Amino acid sequence: MAGNRYLFEEAIQKANDSVWAEAWEPAISSYRRALAEFPDDVSAMMGCAWALLNNKNLSEAIVVYRRLTELSPTDPGPYERLAEIMERTGEPDYAAGFYLGAAQRYGDQKLASKRTSALEAAVRLRPNNIRPWNELLKIYQSQRDINKATLAALWLVYLNQTTNRERAIEICRDAETFSPHEPSIGQALMLMQSNRTIPQPPPIGSEARLPEVADLMPDDGGEGSPVEIARQRALTKLAESIFSDDRPPVKGMQSMEVGLLIGQAVDAQTRGDLVKALKSYEVLLNAGISMPSIHFNIGLLYKEQMQFDNAIVQLERSLSDPEYVLGSHYSLGQCYQAKGEFREAASHFLEAVKIVDIATIEREHVDDLIRVYEGLAQNLMNTGEAERAKKVSESLVEFLGQRGWGDAAMRARGRLDELARSGAVLSLVELVSLPNSEKILRSIALAQEYQRRGMLYSALEEIMNTLSEVPDYLPLHHLLATLLWENNDADAAIQKLHIIARTYEVRNQPPQALATFQYILQLAPLDIPVHRRVAEMLIQFGRIDDALAQYMQISDAYYQLAQPERAREVYSEAMRLAPRGSAERNWEVRILHHMADLDLQRLDWQLAIKDNEEILRISPDDERAYLTLYRLYPRTGRMHLGINILDSLIKRYLTQNKVGNALTVLEDLVKSEPESIPLRARIAQLYLNLGRRESALEHLDVLGDLQLEAGQKDAAVKTIEAILALDPSNREAYADLYREMTNTEPPPPRQK
């Protein structure tokens, strides 16, 4: 509905004057008056948003800019402003998304420079996003900017190397064509072709240099066991410390003397004179020198001389340094293994493999993988089976002791991730602990290839043959269940998955059990007992928000099963848990709305009223609850309460200076109830209060007719008086009606 153009222009002029004077509060007020006349005017809304932003009213500015993205979807400006605000308020994910939105629109408008800046801002905030890097690479190459193009190419290689190595190699080759003399690209290609990885490149816009060849080379070079790699690293560190100040001060010993002892120890250890090396290290320890590199080296020397208790003490002191943590755990495992303490040995070997495994998995799955290893360690400690611990230790020593163990870990991780697509995150340690693990990996790969080609019987046969060798490896059973499902044997698939989940629980591996139960629900979403078990496990893990979401799914399942009473019982259970959920998720209100909807469908008006009254007690601004009560009270014979609750909502909006919300509510209600006298009276009065004469007259005219039809003569007379006071263009017609109804002369029009 069109507003008053004169009032609008007047408010805009005042707003512009205030903006010129940088008087932001008056500017905001003037823009709001203008928007009350024409709520969707883009220029007024732009000005209001800008004033709010300068006045640091960021939350309100966000609302206005979001509305602008709807009203002017091709304009990049609101997207860029939203991105800047989100960045300032610590929301990098949202900021990056809005920068991408701005970049797309700048591109549509052929504004290349602004598009590039927006893309760079997006990857600065969230560098692990492939799409903007792809676009930036094309831009930089078109600009012949070798440094920036190289950086973009390296980021794309880094992001693709674990999930799409062929694409990473293709990027390297394309980049080599563009800049054939860039050494970092050639090195990255070599690493990709040898199935290795590159480290994370520097961020865009930083002063960091591009990676040199040495930066791209893995620390271990793929050679030797973790202990050999860590030993060499420790010797290098100690040798470097001789000529630097990178040594802790020692009372009673000069720096030169400390350097001499370190040099003697390193030289002796390098030459294989372990006795002399040990004596030099012991002198340093007795003098109070504590360096992780010394503790690690002396621990190794004690181990090689079979002084395992002394070795354990020193190796535990080197665990705190990330450079030696892998080698220290491996060596500690060897010490405990030599002492016959197989559970302790297995625990340290488990930690060593965990470190390797975490380095191979995608970041988003790291927390899940850590929980898997925690469960495995707990299970190993609880069983007390020395023979099992011994076998686990031997398998892990064999795996970490082989040449190229890093590459083997990467290959295994790729297969495990394929195997885990529909289930829990899988650990490397469970696989390498199996006999003939390489053969099992090949069998899994073959079965998955059969599966991709639709050769399900061949895939089933391959998996069954492998299971005959390793019947306890549950991921294979999970793959078998998936194949059964694809072969339309749904009952057998779900039955097997139930067995897998319960077995994980018996083995004290709750993360895998939970993931399996959740996979069952993907296949059988109405399985109530599984829903219940998932909710229980989520509560045990402290994942209350996820548990509450699960309760909502349980209620929905009951509703689909035509059991609304049970659905409501579950909502009641969820309400008892809701106070433990995240405050920002507003769980109590969300659950009560679902309960109210359910009660409405069951035609239980009283319960639905109770639900919505409780919502308003918790969340007094909930418009949906107000309007539901407005409709429900009359159904229970309490018409006056319906109007009262509507008045409360309108009053609340007006008190909060949300006139637009109040008008929207009343306009929507009038559209659905055009013959409602109370609604017409309220919207007419609100328009009168806002000075919107034409809108007020429109509703007053209808109101008078409705009152006359209802026999409300006195009320109709008052309505006609209100119309006459506004001096409408057809005033004489209303004046005649007034004389006819009252036998008196009408009142004069209100002075303008």
517 pLDDT band (50/70/90 cuts)? very high
- Quote the mean pLDDT of the chain: 83
Tracing tokens 């062929």 back to the chain, one arrives at: 166
- The helix/strand/coil state of 260 is helix
Query: CATH number for the domain including 702?
Result: 1.25.40.10
Q: Is the residue at 76 inside a domain?
A: yes
- If phi > 0 it is left, if psi is from -120 to 50 it is alpha, else beta; for residue 144 that is left
Calculate mean pLDDT across residues 277-294.
85
At 54-65, the pLDDT tens digits run 888 888 888 888
Q: Is the residue at 717 inside a domain?
A: yes
Domain total in the chain = 2
Q: Is the residue at 365 inside a domain?
A: no
Q: Is the residue at 271 inside a domain?
A: no
Q: Write down the H helix ranges in 561-604.
A: 564-577, 587-601
Q: Is the residue at 461 inside a domain?
A: no
Q: Is the residue at 369 inside a domain?
A: no
Cα torsion angle, 252, 255, 258, 264, sign:
negative
Domain final residue, candidates 216, 244, 259:
216
In the predicted model, is pLDDT for residue 114 greater than 70?
yes
Nearest to residue 534, comparing CAs of 485, 578, 498? 498
In the predicted model, is pLDDT for residue 406 greater than 50?
yes
Domain final residue, candidates 216, 247, 265:
216
Owning domain of residue 16: 5-216
The per-residue pLDDT for 533 is 94
At 492-514, the pLDDT tens digits run 999 999 999 999 888 888 888 99
Q: Is the residue at 319 inside a domain?
A: no
Q: Is the residue at 609 inside a domain?
A: no
In the predicted model, is pLDDT for residue 236 greater than 50?
yes
In the predicted model, is pLDDT for residue 190 greater than 80?
no
The per-residue pLDDT for 209 is 44
Calculate mean pLDDT across residues 394-404.
74
Q: Considering the entire predicted model, what is its pTM? A: 0.57
The per-residue pLDDT for 192 is 73
At 338-370, the pLDDT tens digits run 888 888 888 888 888 888 888 777 666 777 777
**By CB neighbour count within 10 A (0-12 exposed, 13-18 middle, 19+ buried), where does 382 fall?**
exposed
The per-residue pLDDT for 187 is 66
Domain final residue, candidates 155, 190, 216:
216
The per-residue pLDDT for 135 is 92
Q: Rounded distance, CA 444 to CA 416, Å?
A: 9
In the predicted model, is pLDDT for residue 636 greater than 50?
yes
CB 52 within 8 A of CB 28: yes
